[in-house]
Amino acid sequence: INLSAEIESLKNPQTLSPTPRLDELREENAKLKYRLNILKRSLQEDDTDCSKSMMNINQRLQEVFGEAIRASCPELDNPPLAVTPNQQAKFGDYQCNSAMAMAQMLKAKGIKVNPREIAEKIIQNLSDNELIEKTEIAGPGFINIHLKRTFVSKLLSNLLINGVQPPPLASRKKVVVDFSSPNIAKEMHVGHLRSTIIGDSMCRLFEFLGYDVLRLNHVGDWGTQFGMLIAHLQDKFPDYLTISPPIRDLQAFYKESKKRFDEEEDFKKRAYQCVVKLQSKEPDFIKGWNLICDVSRREFQKVYNCLDIQIIERGESYYQDKMTEVVKEFEEKGLVEIDEGRKIVFVPGQPIPLTIVKSDGGYTYDTSDLAALRQRIFDEKADIIIYVTDSGQGTHFQVVFAAAQLIGWYNPQVTRVEHAGFGVVLGEDKKKFKTRSGDTVRLMDLLDEGLKRSMDKLKDKERDKVLTPEELTKAQSSVAFGCIKYADLSHNRINDYVFSFDKMLDDRGNTAAYLLYAFTRIRSIARLANIAEATLRKAAETTEVILDHEKEWKLGKCILRFPEILQKILDDLLLHTLCDYLYELATTFTEFYDSCYCVEKDRQTGEVVKVNMWRMLLCEATAAIMAKGFDILGITPVQRM
């Protein structure tokens, strides 16, 4: 009886006397509801901000399908999510290939299900969304996805109105990119060219995506060779402290001092004494060292100016005082072993130990690279650290990173530390790229040769007859340096690549010359049709981008794949993906332009009779994406070529 009375009283809450605890909870609930509404409002405002950014369609599809996959198979932990662009248009625009792998996982759990049934379930669980027109199941369980044309059209209008905006960043991370890194008193060679071009392009990508990027030049500006150079400087220019020595050719100066170091015992002894005095920071020796570094810097800067490279020098000398702390820290953690007078660190599972102090008490590359990594993690507070050097240094960095994890400097789950290695440059004979006499190729000679050949190419095409001298010079450097950069970046960096001026200046196929000409042509369409920029801007806001023709549809989708491409490069740091995409975009544009009239002219008078404005907008959108792609690759297009 008591129980049924209690149930009745609970059914009728008016009869309940409110407790202070209940009042507290109600008040708390009201506050939470209020905060929830504020959050919802700010999220909506954020969404309107985000709508200015380009949407990553693939990522959005992954969100939609991810939810559906989890709902259709709750018994699977971490079910596979695979959404990719469809290679053949007749099968739709994207494809979800998860059902087959899910069937395998269920089979392993002893549950036998047909992948097509899983695909059916996934489709049933798809939530209402703005981008999918329809889905179909094909073959053993592929889900073909067709996008809504109105949705794609809306995204293109958004791009035209707001420009190429990067997808929104969850948080602004700090990125350190260590690249270029030549040695003082030595010429920059082709290996430095690769590191410089690849590293600069990675920085440009991170900068465009909104990261805080520190571009570092870890130059070799310390070590035994400076004793040798200073000793030679004292002999050759005894008054170097008062009169700046006229060292023009540092390479020759280095060779002379190296010869003396190898052949003259007295000179060798003096060179070692100079190293000690330099390391003790004696002013006269620091001045000699600075003079030699300055001559080198001026030479490096010529290369950086040609290639439009921004970089902050922070050489090995910068980390000298920090190395002592590194050695001390490894000793305190009990990680150092003594081996024939050397201090070494064995990292479990690594093929070689690190030598952090030589038997003569000096430090090594291992020590300076550990000190640099420690500084970048703790002082720079970097979230991502990338080293762009040749693949030959892969093992060295692998051991350095493993040692840093062993001592607890960073957790690879939180901080991304990566070596982006690259292959060697080969000559057309498939051997290491050298001059006929077997010397390394000076970078300035290589760049000058590029300029000469690009001018020859422009004159062959009789561009000198239509361009002003100033336009011709701009086109010359745009083609020369654009082709040198693109030839490097369009190859998978991990592979060796053959350096050939003839191939890189060819205006057919996947080359910078072809893309630069294609871009200039697209840019000229509106000009030749006498359409003012203001008219195009107005049209972007008022004209729907129609995608009825199959070539319009193909081009529209290709333009919008740009954020997906950038996301892929962010994950694997392989820039050739962007080159392949730009080439695909240019060829897709050509197909569209050949099939779809943008401007219709009178055959007799040549006057413009009709402008198909939505197609002009597709031209504009293509050019905007190409321009941003060029910018990330460090290539400067020109208005006329």
CB atoms within 10 A of CB 461: 13
What is the average per-residue pLDDT within 479-496? 95
CA distance 402 to 386: 15
Contacts of 87 (CB under 8 A, 6+ apart): none
pLDDT for the residue 345: 97
| 209's tokens | 């995506």
Q: Is the dihedral of CA 474, 477, 481, 484 positive or negative?
A: positive
pLDDT exceeds 70 at position 40: no
Token look-up 């190293």 returns 275
Confidence of residue 13 (pLDDT cuts 50, 70, 90): low
pLDDT of 489-539, one tens digit each?
999 999 998 888 888 888 889 999 999 999 999 999 988 888 888 999 999
What is the average per-residue pLDDT within 557-582? 97
- For residue 498, what are the β-bridge partners? 426
CA distance 459 to 465: 8
What is the average per-residue pLDDT within 460-489? 93
Asked if 407 and 331 touch (Cβ cutoff 8 Å), the reply is no
What residue ranges do the domains of the chain occupy?
17-48, 57-147, 174-219+315-426, 224-305, 466-633
CA distance 308 to 395: 31
| 482's tokens | 């654009």
pLDDT for the residue 49: 43
| 177's tokens | 């990119």
pLDDT for the residue 45: 43
CA distance 217 to 293: 14
pLDDT for the residue 5: 67
Cα–Cα distances in angstroms (integers) from residue 512 to residues 469, 472, 520, 620, in the given order: 22, 17, 12, 20
CA distance 35 to 37: 5
pLDDT exceeds 60 at position 264: yes
Confidence of residue 293 (pLDDT cuts 50, 70, 90): very high
Class of domain 466-633: mainly alpha
SS3 of residue 216 by DSSP: strand
pLDDT for the residue 35: 65
Confidence of residue 640 (pLDDT cuts 50, 70, 90): confident
What is the average per-residue pLDDT within 149-170? 94
pLDDT of 532-547, one tens digit each?
889 999 999 999 999 9
> Per residue, what are the HEC states of 524-540?
HHHHHCCCCHHHHHHHH
Asked if 497 and 488 touch (Cβ cutoff 8 Å), the reply is yes
Same fold, 57-147 and 466-633: no
pLDDT for the residue 602: 83
Asked if 589 and 555 touch (Cβ cutoff 8 Å), the reply is yes
pLDDT of 398-408, one tens digit each?
999 999 999 99
Q: Which CATH superfamily is domain 174-219+315-426 in?
A: HUPs (3.40.50.620)
What is the average per-residue pLDDT within 61-78? 93
Q: Which residue has the higher pLDDT, 632 or 29?
A: 632
pLDDT for the residue 47: 47
> Per residue, what are the HEC states of 295-307?
HHHHHHHHHHHHH
pLDDT exceeds 80 at position 483: yes
CATH of domain 57-147: 3.30.1360.70
